[in-house]
Amino acid sequence: MSLNGKDERRENGTIRICGPDDVALLHRMSVDTYVDTFAGTSSDEDMDKFLEESYSEPVLRGELSNPDSVFLLISVQPDSDSKEHADSDSSDSTKTDELPAGYMKLNFGEAQVEDMGSGTMEIQRLYIDKQFKGLGLGTQLMNFALDTARKRGLHKVWLGVWEHNEPAKHFYAGKGFVRVGQHAFWQGDDKQTDYLMAREV
């Protein structure tokens, strides 16, 4: 899918752009996937503070309205093992009968959290729900991101990853990303370090 509002079927999931009506779904997915990934890496107080400052519905609504940011949702067809999950999430609008499985946020221009020069795009978030990992959905989102950068005439894609998140670092390295620096990342009042990784497109 180019960023034209149409759904695209590729590989195992369907990718579409999120809009204002998706804020509740995006809030739930953001909190669930972040906690699944980083639970225990700081105090409960710091985790709660970070989630409120970064993933509350008002914050996400503001990010959704930023013309230099795009949220993408990837969803999959339910199978017999996930029917109960599909029923429980029936109120979440994904514009299809599919299950929301992950999401990604792309930043362009001044929405990027670091100045990496002209012709760049940031992947600020790429998360897959734990029950859908292993289906290639992360690779599908990454390929989409790289295609988006190429179609916009950009030459570099970059991201930040926690220095101790070995699975994510391995995943990004396998996609051609190399470490180019680091910056501070605040999880509440807990100062952590993110490695900055980039690749040409």
Task: Give the pLDDT confidence of 58-80 residue by residue, as tens digits.
Answer: 999 999 999 999 999 999 998 74
Cα separation, 153 vs 117, in Å, equals 14
Q: CB–CB of 76/101 below 8 Å?
A: yes
pLDDT at 42: 92
Q: CB–CB of 118/155 below 8 Å?
A: no
The tokens 């998140």 sit on which residue? 165
pLDDT at 96: 53
Q: Which fold has domain 8-155?
A: Aminopeptidase (3.40.630)
pLDDT at 72: 98
Q: Give the chain's residues under pLDDT 50.
A: 1-2, 4-10, 80-95
- What are the percentages of helix, strand and coil residues in the chain, rounded to 5? 40, 30, 30
Q: What are the residue ranges of helices labelled H in the chain?
A: 23-38, 44-55, 57-64, 83-88, 137-151, 166-174
pLDDT at 6: 46
Tens of pLDDT along 99-123?
Answer: 999 999 999 999 999 999 999 999 9
Question: Is-catalytic flag, 172?
Answer: yes
Q: Which of 55, 127, 172, 195 is catalytic?
A: 172
Start-to-end Cα distance in the chain: 18
pLDDT at 90: 42
pLDDT at 39: 94
pLDDT at 9: 43
pLDDT at 3: 54
